[in-house]
Amino acid sequence: MGEVYRAARGPDASPVAVKVIKPRFALERTAVRRFLHEARAAAEIEHEHLLGVIDTGEADGIPYLVMPYVEGRTLEQRLRAGETLTVEEANRMAAEVGSGLDALHAHGLVHRDIKASNIIFRTDGSAVLMDFGLAKGSGYSVLTTPGQLVGTLDYMAPELIRDQPATPSSDLYALGCVVYESLCGHPPFAGAGIFAVGMGHLERQPGDPCAGRADAAPGYGQAVLAALAKDPQARPVTAREYADRLTTAAHAPA
């Protein structure tokens, strides 16, 4: 829905990222509302691992958002280049993105679109969660219709496929899918058609994301899969709890 450009801002020409709604969506009321909704959600909370919004505006009838510029690559870009993360890198990403998620959840917001393309790594290796266009909170008007799936299927919790409300637990499921993908290069049920992916989330157990990895302790793969439980009540309660499980499992003796 949006395109992002690097720009210079202020007297010192400091670099920023400017997100502009694509022209084909500029006349669609719901698209514009969702675009501006991102600005409101991102402005509600400040956190070092959440990409906020500095400013908003409109030029020639086209709304835009001004965000901090992050020098680095997204997880999706790294995976497309043939890279997977080490266990330590995956743990760090889960802890950092998870801390941002917990802050969102404590503020009454659910992200609803956690995926590899929405996580960017700074040059120092730290991870930042982006894109609040689908974020949902009690103070927001509904921008979808009943029965409409919102999010990205590769990362979608079973309860969302069943048209149940998005919750912090469904964000945790998506984070688990991202950690899984970061280790083996693909989401849990990728490589099949849309129907098969959906049924995988609903009924199948994912394979071990650490199969064949020499840097993973024996129980680490199961710790990754803890966030992918079909029952939301069986998942870790918070992202912090999930990240702690990963760290503990990674350093467990053989």
Q: List, by residue number, the catalytic residues.
A: 113
Query: Longest C-alpha distance within the chain, in Å?
Result: 62
In single-letter form, the type of residue at position 145 comes to T
Q: What DSSP string runs through 28-92?
A: -HHHHHHHHHHHHHHHS---TTB----EEEEETTEEEEEEE---EEEHHHHHHTT----HHHHHH
Q: Which two tokens stand for residue 36?
A: 């501006």
Q: What are phi and psi of 82, to 5 degrees?
A: 90, 10
Strand partners, 50: 129
Q: What are phi and psi of 99, to 5 degrees?
A: -65, -40
Distance, CA of 62 to CA of 98 (rounded, Å): 33
